[in-house]
Chains A and B, each alone.
Chain A
Amino acid sequence: MSAESPISAAVDGQAGPPLLELKDVQMMFGGVMALRGVNHRVIAGRINSVIGPNGAGKTTLFNCISGLLKPTEGGVYLDGERIDGLPPHRIAQMGVSRTFQHVALFKHMTVLENVMVGRHPRTRSGFLAAGFRFPGMRREEGLIREEALSHLEFVGMGDLADIPAGSLPLGKQKILEIARALATGPKLVLLDEPAGGLNMKETEELGELIQRVCGKGVTVLLVEHDMNLVMDISHHILVLYFGEPLTEGPPSEVKANPAVIRAYLGESLTDPPAASSK
């Protein structure tokens, strides 16, 4: 079905080397093929979005990149280094962080502590250093707190530092997940439906925040159903349809692509593959 939108056509005009490269990534769950060979390059310094109807494999793709799933076939490369098959914490260490579609905060910890956990891959103190409060550990602890606070302030939640994360309204929880992800010091941050459950004003603020994140030099890969948001802020969009790239390109092109419209509205589409990813 993607015959009329060759992917190579959309790749031109992309500056710089790919930060993340997906080579023929396939993911099978039993007999179900959630990803049917995704080839894609994520260029650094931009807001890249992945869209597609429910079950297109967007979250599966994120899980394959962040290490929660190991692709059945194919490879994921970060700055040319292969990362698929590595455990998630190694991938985080290498500079890929993420948020979760269904908020996965540490609910009983404070807002600030949540972000402090995010500093984990950039800090070192272990059990002994912590237990005996070695001077190096105390210095590091002070830095962790400072950096976590600055990330909280960056997302505009500095005043909420000491309340339990679980008591925040959903909108704030989604933003806190972004602050926590940024605290890991990522090159690439994967945002999985950050606008889900947000009202219009919150979504607008989220859009501004994502642009500021990109402005800091962090590459964004965004999965989102809110098309206004995606079309407003994305530099580049990949459309997934039943586990396969349908097309990709800048928002204006993607929006006008008849294949994309068909995929979303289901018009006159014969023979849709009966696969689902979620």
Chain B
Amino acid sequence: MQKRDWLIFLAVAVFLAIFPFIAARISAISHYIDIMVFAGIFSIVSLGLCMLMGYAGQVSMAQAAFFGIGAYTSGILTSHFHWHPLPAIPIGCLLSAAVAWLVGVPALRLKGHYLAMATLGFGEIVHIVLNQEVEWTGGPSGLVDIPSLKILGVRISSEEAWYYIVWTAALCTLIFCFNVLRSRVGRALRAIHEEETAADAMGVPTARFKLQVFVLSAVLAAIAGSFYTHYVTFLNPGTFDLMWSIRFVLMVMLGGVQSLWGAVLGTVLLTFIGNEWLRVFADFDILVYGAILLLVALFLPDGLVSIFPKGRSASGNV
């Protein structure tokens, strides 16, 4: 991270730290803490997607599926098998990584729209499995009896506690992603995005890197899914369908596809738009999201972060 990013990071961290105190004192926005917990969880997904889409240039319409794999792995292990929630999280990550690897090997040979289509198809398959495997997933009626998160014997139940855990995780993810981008790996990913042939000729194993960043995005989505499971303690396949994959893509695009800060900003905004500000349009959410996507594509192709001045002349968005 560069100096400018650290300054933004510090400002954001301070804001996030005091936000619950402010929100708790104003009854009109006291429920914003709950929405912010969701925004934090979704941020972890969109940070991974931002790495994949914005930097490596590979579109995935399957992030909700990986989110679901993490969520249901945690849900099933803790409800059916009474696992402790913490060890269930890495199992979800491993499963998600394995599936991403299996899907990625053939799918990442495709480019652009074809890759989007292939991942979309895969996402639908996962959604169907979650709906049909009633014995394990509870099917359309949902998975219940999921315990809340327990850390060192303490049950995490208050919204505030969740808020701090989730946002700590999101900020750690952010730092991790920044570190990856400002390294040999990040340069390789951006090189693949810009000139794949040249990257290959310069010794970058393009297929391997695309696969690795796809797996990384799937693992991050799975971690977020586990958090989601234990926060909501109820799962229903509807949260893991194509619409949610599109929402994740939209979150990244709204903020700025080539900016990690943009991914977080877009996620927070879209979570508030979906859960609060435009709730009256709930039945027309597809229309609302479509309109947002259209407006962003037309007027803000580089997302909301393009409104802010850039830190340095080249790739200041890293």
Residues of A within 8 A of B (CB): 66-68, 87-89, 92-93, 97-98, 100, 104-110, 113, 116-123, 125-127, 130-133, 137, 140-141, 144, 162-164, 180-181, 184
Q: Determine the residue in chain A with the shortest Cβ distance to B178.
A: A131
Chain A residues with CB under 8 A of B188: 117, 120
Q: How many A-B residue pairs have CB under 8 A?
A: 120
Chain A residues with CB under 8 A of B312: 162
Q: Does B129 contact A (CB under 8 A)?
A: no
Chain B: interface secondary structure? helix
Contact A109 B314 (CB under 8 A): yes
List 13 extra interface pairs beyond A89-B202, A162-B312, A163-B314, CB under 8 A. A67-B201, A88-B197, A92-B200, A100-B197, A104-B197, A105-B195, A109-B187, A117-B199, A117-B202, A125-B185, A131-B176, A132-B179, A163-B313
Q: Determine the residue in chain A with the shortest Cβ distance to B216.
A: A127
Chain A residues with CB under 8 A of B185: 125-127, 130
Contact B204 A113 (CB under 8 A): no
Contact A121 B313 (CB under 8 A): no
Q: Determine the residue in chain A with the shortest Cβ distance to B188.
A: A120
Q: Does B186 contact A (CB under 8 A)?
A: yes
Chain A residues with CB under 8 A of B206: 89
Chain A residues with CB under 8 A of B183: 125, 130, 137, 141
Q: Mark B172-216, 1 if CB is under 8 A from A, else 0.
A: 000011011001111110110011011111111110000011001
Q: Does B315 contact A (CB under 8 A)?
A: yes
Given A109-B194, A126-B185: A88 in contact with B200 (beta carbons within 8 A):
yes
A120–B205 Cα distance when bound, in Å, is 9
Residues of B within 8 A of A (CB): 176-177, 179-180, 183-188, 190-191, 194-195, 197-206, 212-213, 216, 312-315
Contact A92 B314 (CB under 8 A): no
Q: Determine the residue in chain A with the shortest Cβ distance to B201.
A: A88
Chain B residues with CB under 8 A of A163: 313-314
Contact A97 B201 (CB under 8 A): yes
Q: Determine the residue in chain B with the shortest Cβ distance to A186.
A: B203
Sample 22 A-B pairs with CB under 8 A, ordered by A number: A66-B201, A67-B201, A68-B200, A88-B197, A92-B200, A97-B201, A100-B197, A100-B198, A100-B201, A106-B190, A108-B314, A109-B190, A109-B194, A117-B202, A120-B204, A125-B184, A126-B185, A127-B185, A130-B186, A131-B176, A131-B177, A164-B315
Chain A residues with CB under 8 A of B191: 106, 109, 117
> Within the complex, which residue of B195, B201, B313 is in contact with A92, where a contact is CB–CB below 8 Å?
B201
> Within the complex, which residue of A87, A106, A107 is in contact with B205, where a contact is CB–CB below 8 Å?
A87
Contact B179 A131 (CB under 8 A): yes
CB distance from B196 to the nearest CB of A (A): 10
Contact A89 B205 (CB under 8 A): yes
Chain B residues with CB under 8 A of A68: 197, 200-201
Given A127-B185, A127-B216, A144-B184: A93 in contact with B203 (beta carbons within 8 A):
yes
Contact A92 B197 (CB under 8 A): no
Most chain B CB neighbours (cut-off 10 Å) among A106, A126, A180 = A106
Chain A residues with CB under 8 A of B201: 66-68, 88-89, 92, 97-98, 100
Q: Determine the residue in chain A with the shortest Cβ distance to B317.
A: A108
Contact A92 B198 (CB under 8 A): no
A66–B213 Cα distance when bound, in Å, is 26
A185–B193 Cα distance when bound, in Å, is 23
Given A113-B315, A162-B313: A130 in contact with B202 (beta carbons within 8 A):
no
Contact A123 B184 (CB under 8 A): yes
A109–B216 Cα distance when bound, in Å, is 23
A130–B212 Cα distance when bound, in Å, is 13
A17–B6 Cα distance when bound, in Å, is 55
A64–B250 Cα distance when bound, in Å, is 42
Contact B184 A119 (CB under 8 A): yes
A116–B315 Cα distance when bound, in Å, is 14
A137–B198 Cα distance when bound, in Å, is 24
CB distance from A146 to the nearest CB of B (A): 14
Q: Determine the residue in chain B with the shortest Cβ distance to A185.
A: B203
Q: Determine the residue in chain B with the shortest Cβ distance to A111.
A: B314
Chain B residues with CB under 8 A of A125: 183-185
Given A127-B185, A144-B184: A120 in contact with B194 (beta carbons within 8 A):
no
Most chain B CB neighbours (cut-off 10 Å) among A68, A88, A97 = A88
> Within the complex, which residue of B187, B216, B314 is in contact with A162, where a contact is CB–CB below 8 Å?
B314
A184–B199 Cα distance when bound, in Å, is 11
